[in-house]
Amino acid sequence: MASNSFSGPWYRAPPVLSEEVFRLMTEMLSVRDVLTMRTVCQNWKKTIDDTIQKLPFSNIELLTKDNRNLQQVFQQQFATEEITDQFLKDMRNVRNPFPGRSIILKDVFNWYPSKLLLWEFGPQVWHLQISRPSEVDFLTIGNYLEENFPHIHQLFLYLINLKTLVMDGFYLPDNYVNLRMMASIYSKPFPTLENLEVFDVGNSSAPPLVNAILKGCKNLKRLIISKHTFDFIMDLPKLEDLKVGIHNTSDLYTLNNLKSPLKNVELQYCRNSKQPVCSLVDWFGGLKQFSKSLEGLILGVDVDFAEAATGGVTLDFPKLEMLNIENYPEASLSYLPTFIGLKKLFVTTLADDADEEIRMEMWDEDDEIWHRMPQLQTIQLYVPPDESELSEEIPEIFVVNRNT
């Protein structure tokens, strides 16, 4: 007898939407439309959820027609104990209550509800953001971490499938030392997070806790962190993308202790530092360890190029194709080193009248910048508005392509 059941060896489930197709769909649809699509049938719901879950969490913003981030729509927040308790009651018999597998814990200072939530649904969480209440001060953070480290340690035992971890607001001053917390960390190693690929700490975290987590992240691919919270003498064999804050020249050269095949690096000079990095050569000197693998580099510099002229110096970074220099202080590109393989150069200038001189160099096809870098295809100059004047100036962007 014929059967209408979609089962058996001949049946193939519909393929998951490609990221490109789904992106085009969301550009034409509102959030409400996407949520409505999920209600058509189980196959559509699963396909949409699977597609969202497979998107890179931290570096792709999937926006809909109404300019809302679709992943944020699917990201569930737990801000109070009451919200968490009610959620657990409502979802008692649900296998996976997180459509985007993404949650924010804002009540982490009340660890017990978070423990119950992750004990029940921790394996379903792929992306986790931990935030602290804004009214909590530094001393409270330190005391909390000291008193509750065993409980925090236990929370991560349930996150066996975690891919992205964002820690927001757990900043401790450099001079804060908590020997009891450090002793707890060293005596009881943190759970290994084998699936963690992205760890976003930024400038706001507690160094002992960060180092404890990193020691169990052998498959980490992207790290966003402030240098002073991080011991660079660490084995991260799969790390490819690094964004880090730099305070002085010494910080740059400690990067060479990081044994990772970095492809993309963003270095941002910390404005509160009293020890400026002196030249562009110093910036690249801290990246020698990755000279053979580096493909893209963003430098947020604060240097006086005239003190140590670098123009004409050829640096051996054969795979470097993209260089973005923010806060470039000079009125000429002649101060730049030579990169034989560079294809795209982005410059943001702050020097007075620098844009006119640099634009002349960009548009002159016989200028030495084009001859020194034979693979260079595009130069983009970004001129920010003058913030010191009360005007309605808008940023200016100039783009020149080779042979145009």
DSSP string across 336-398: SPB-TT--EEEEEE-STTHHHHHHHHHH-TTSHHHHH-TT--EEEEEE---TTS-S----EEE
Listed as ranges, residues in the chain with pLDDT below 50 are 1-12, 58-60, 305-309
Cα gap 170→106, rounded to integer Å: 12
Query: 135-139: which pairs have CB atoms within 8 A and are 24 or more residues apart?
Result: 136/109, 136/169, 138/171, 138/172, 138/173, 138/176
pLDDT computed for residue 396 by the predictor: 82
Which pair of tokens denotes residue 142? 């330190």
pLDDT computed for residue 180 by the predictor: 65
pLDDT computed for residue 174 by the predictor: 56
pLDDT computed for residue 216 by the predictor: 84
pLDDT computed for residue 343 by the predictor: 96
pLDDT computed for residue 172 by the predictor: 66
Longest dimension (CA), the chain: 87
Q: Partners of 398 in the beta sheet?
A: 381
Q: Does residue 335 contact residue 280 with C-beta atoms inside 8 Å?
A: yes
pLDDT computed for residue 331 by the predictor: 79
pLDDT computed for residue 375 by the predictor: 94
Amino acid residing at 265: V
Q: Does residue 159 contact residue 194 with C-beta atoms inside 8 Å?
A: no
Per-residue pLDDT tens digits for 364-386: 888 888 999 999 999 999 888 76
pLDDT computed for residue 20 by the predictor: 72
Cβ count near 156 (within 10 Å): 21
Cβ count near 94 (within 10 Å): 11
Cα gap 64→375, rounded to integer Å: 37
Contacts (Cβ under 8 Å, ≥6 apart) of 72: none
pLDDT computed for residue 132 by the predictor: 72
What is the DSSP code string of 280-327? HHHHHHTTGGGTTT--EEEEE----GGGS--TT-B---TT--EEEEEE
Give the SS3 label for residue 163: coil
Amino acid residing at 222: R
Per-residue pLDDT tens digits for 190-206: 889 999 999 998 766 66
Three-state SS sequence of 83-148: HHHHHHHHCCCCCCCCCCCEEEECCCCCHHHHHHHHHHHHHHCCEEEEECCCCCCHHHHHHHHHHH
Q: pTM for the complete prediction?
A: 0.81
Cα gap 164→293, rounded to integer Å: 24
Cα gap 68→242, rounded to integer Å: 27
